[in-house]
C-alpha cells in the first residue's frame, strides 16, 4: 500500500508536479508543450463571447477542467492548458472549479454527460 503525504510535506509538492507533454491531448483542447516540471496550470477558454483564464492547482486537475470544457454541453471553445505564470491557484480541484463556474446543476449535467 502506498500512502500519499500530507500537503505540507515536501513529497506532496512533487506529487502535484508533472510535465505537459504531447500525449496529454483532449479533443478540442490545446495543451502547451513544456519541458520543465509544471505545478499549477492556466486553463484559458472562451465562453459566451468572453475570454476566461483560471489557474488550477495541478496538471491533472487542469486537464480535467479542460475535458469538462470540451464537452458540447459546456459551450466553450478555444480551450488551452498552459503552465501558470504564478504559483497561486484560483481553484484546487476540477470539482471546485465546476461548482464555482457552472453551479451545482450545471456541473451535475456535465458530469452526467461524461458518464454516458
Residues 7-51 pLDDT 10s: 444 444 444 555 555 455 666 677 766 666 677 889 999 998 999
- The verdict on residue 3 lying in a domain is no
- The verdict on residue 90 lying in a domain is yes
Give tens-digit pLDDT for 52-105.
999 999 888 998 999 899 888 898 989 998 888 877 889 999 999 999 999 999
66 touches 79 (CB < 8 A): yes
- The verdict on residue 24 lying in a domain is yes
Comparing 1 with 45, the larger pLDDT belongs to: 45
- The verdict on residue 4 lying in a domain is no
Pairing status of strand 76-83 against strand 41-47: antiparallel
Q: How many domains does the chain have?
A: 1
- The verdict on residue 107 lying in a domain is yes
Q: Is the pLDDT of residue 113 over 80?
A: yes
Rounded CA Rg of the chain: 14
What is the residue range of 41's domain?
Answer: 10-115
Amino acid at each position: 500500500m502506498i500512502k500519499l503525504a500530507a500537503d505540507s510535506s515536501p513529497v506532496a509538492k512533487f506529487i502535484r508536479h508533472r510535465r505537459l507533454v504531447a500525449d496529454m491531448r483532449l479533443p478540442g483542447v490545446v495543451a502547451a508543450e513544456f519541458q520543465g516540471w509544471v505545478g499549477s496550470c492556466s486553463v484559458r477558454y472562451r465562453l459566451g463571447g468572453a475570454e476566461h483564464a483560471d489557474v488550477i492547482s495541478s496538471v491533472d486537475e487542469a486537464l480535467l477542467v479542460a475535458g469538462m470544457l470540451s464537452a458540447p454541453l459546456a459551450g466553450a471553445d478555444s480551450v488551452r492548458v498552459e503552465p501558470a505564470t504564478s504559483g497561486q491557484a484560483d481553484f484546487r480541484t476540477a470539482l471546485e472549479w465546476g461548482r464555482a463556474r457552472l453551479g451545482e446543476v450545471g456541473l451535475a449535467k456535465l458530469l452526467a454527460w461524461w458518464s454516458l
